[in-house]
Each structure stands twice: as structure tokens, then as C-alpha cells.
Amino acid sequence: MRILITGKSGQLARALLARLPGAVGVGRPEVDIADAASVQVALDAHRPELVIHCAAMTDVDGAARDPQAAYRANGLGTQTVALAAERVGAALVYLSTNEVFDGNQRTPYTEFDPPSPINPYGWSKRAGEWFVQNLTRRFYLVRTSWITGRGGRNFVHRILQLADEHGRLRVVTDEIACPTFVDDLAEALVRLIATGHYGIYHLTNAGYCSRYDYALKILELSGRSHIPVEPITLAEFPRPSTPPKFSALANNAAAALGITLRPWEVALAEFLQKA
């Protein structure tokens, strides 16, 4: 199958390109999803049968500071990709986020719980979902959360860096979601696109935790258990964006197809071992 992947230097795109020989990655400056002409030129040149749309403005606090920039990249950019994919007859994979949910639930969100974002990043990604659902006929809408890939901008690298720089940490206890490791996510996506079962999916590593518990595990498994971690609340950690408090994702739809991801602790241990 001819596959084109947007945002080629991002964490997930790199993992997918490594697994999908023959897939073409496109990215800035040549292909900017905010520039419809550049997207159309790329799709006309490669004539993909499937577009995996990974490009996004993923800086959640940046999105809160500049909601219009987030909407241009994640909302309008996805509209552009969806229209171009439909025009060349390609199916579409759109990566979305746990942050489309408001976080008020106490059990993991299923694929069919109603999204209700509470911050500009979530609004912009939800807008992208709407365009995908309304402008394309064959799509996989895949929500995931807390992605970690080697060398990417992610929580694991940040915790290790802050631990080594400061020798102590303060981490929130009241933000809870599913850590997800990019190799497991890419593998699950490759299996999903082979099924032809278009639809809405949640793909995360199994289990969920607070950022505080996640940090403790990162320190333990990286030989840094001696680093003290002060538990704090979101209220004590002011930041531009308001994250949903509980946004764990139930992976029901993929499990029904036999696609499951291993527990996050196992994936984290392997990630740190290879670091």
C-alpha cells in the first residue's frame, strides 16, 4: 500500500516510518499542513492510498497561549489534509488525544463517550476530529495519550532531565492518564490499518497513573529512587493550559479486533533499559 505520513520528524511519524518500508514522510518546510497548496502538491506527487496524519501543534501550553495558532495547525490543518486525502481517494488515519475529554469521569473514557474539551489544544484537536469525521469516508480516528519516544519532547525525558539538574522534583497527583510508548503505538497502528475496520479507536499502553506515580516509576526504574518527589496538585502548579484531571482511555474497539498494548510499566522498563 502507498502510505504518506505527515509531520515526518515527530515522535510517532519516525516510529511509523521505521516500520513501514516504502512509506513517504513529509514535513516542514516543504509540506506545511497550514498551507493547502503544499499538502495538495505532496498528495498529487505521491498518490497515497493511505495518509497517516501525525503532524500537529502538540505544545499544549503554547496552544493555550495562542489558540488561533493551535486551531490553524490542528483544526484547519487537518481539514486541509482530510480534503486532500479525499480528493486523491486515500483513506486517512488521524491521531487525536485524551485532551478531547473534560476529565470529569472517574472511569476510563470509551471510544463513544462524548468529547468535551476544556482547553485550546483539546478544542483544536476536537475540531480536527470533526473535519475527519465529516469530510472523509474512510478514516481511523485514533486517540492516544502521553506519548514517549526516544529523543522526543516528552514527560520521561523531562523528569530525567529535571531530576539530574535539580536533585528533587515536585509533580502533580491529580492529572491522570495512560502513558504510551511510541514503538507499541506504532506497532498497534500498523496492525489496525491492516484490518480495514475504519472507525474510532483508543490506543494507549494498558493501565493508567497520575503524573506523580509515573515520575516515581521513572526514577525507580532508572536508578534514581533517591531523588525526593513532592506530591503537589494542579492548583499548586500554575501553567497556561488546564489539563483534564482524569483522561485515561479504554481501548475497547481495538481490543475487539485483537489489538492490545502491554502495560505501561513494562514498556517504560524496556524504554529505560535501552536508553
Q: What amino acid positions are annotated as catalytic residues?
A: 121
Interface with ligand NAP (CB under 6 A), residue from 1, 9, 65, 236: 9
Q: Which of residues 186-215 bind ligand NAP (CB under 6 A)?
A: none
Q: Per the structure block, which three cell numbers stand in for 150?
A: 526516544
CA-to-CA distance for 112 and 109, rounded, in angstroms?
8
Q: How far is the CB of 178 from ligand NAP (least distance, A)?
A: 10
Whether 241 and 121 have beta carbons less than 8 Å apart is answered as yes
CA-to-CA distance for 35 and 214, rounded, in angstroms?
38
The contact pattern for ligand NAP, residues 134-153, with x = CB under 6 A and - = no contact, is ----------xxxx----x-
Q: Which of residues 62-91 bind ligand NAP (CB under 6 A)?
A: 73, 77
- Residue 48 binds ligand NAP (CB under 6 A): no
- Residue 4 binds ligand NAP (CB under 6 A): no
Contacts of 266 (CB under 8 A, 6+ apart): none
- Residue 120 binds ligand NAP (CB under 6 A): no
- Residue 254 binds ligand NAP (CB under 6 A): no
Whether 144 and 98 have beta carbons less than 8 Å apart is answered as yes
CB environment 163-186: b (16+ within 10 A), e (fewer):
beeeeebebbebbbbbbbbbbbbb
Residue placing its CB nearer to ligand NAP in the complex, 82 or 95: 95
Residue placing its CB nearer to ligand NAP in the complex, 95 or 248: 95
Residue placing its CB nearer to ligand NAP in the complex, 154 or 222: 154
Cα distances (angstroms) measured from residue 32 to each of 76, 95, 183:
12, 17, 25
- Residue 57 binds ligand NAP (CB under 6 A): yes
Of 10-18, 131-139, 216-224, 227-235, the window that binds ligand NAP (rule: CB under 6 A) is 10-18
Of 9-17, 101-109, 208-216, 227-235, the window that binds ligand NAP (rule: CB under 6 A) is 9-17
Cα distances (angstroms) measured from residue 254 to each of 102, 170, 194:
22, 35, 12
Amino acid at 232: I
Beta bridge partners of 200: 141
DSSP 156: H
Residue placing its CB nearer to ligand NAP in the complex, 147 or 163: 147
Residue placing its CB nearer to ligand NAP in the complex, 36 or 162: 36
Q: How far is the CB of 97 from ligand NAP (least distance, A)?
A: 4
Whether 80 and 36 have beta carbons less than 8 Å apart is answered as yes
* Residue ranges in contact with ligand NAP by CB under 6 A: 7, 9-12, 27-28, 32-34, 54-58, 73, 77, 95, 97, 125, 144-147, 152
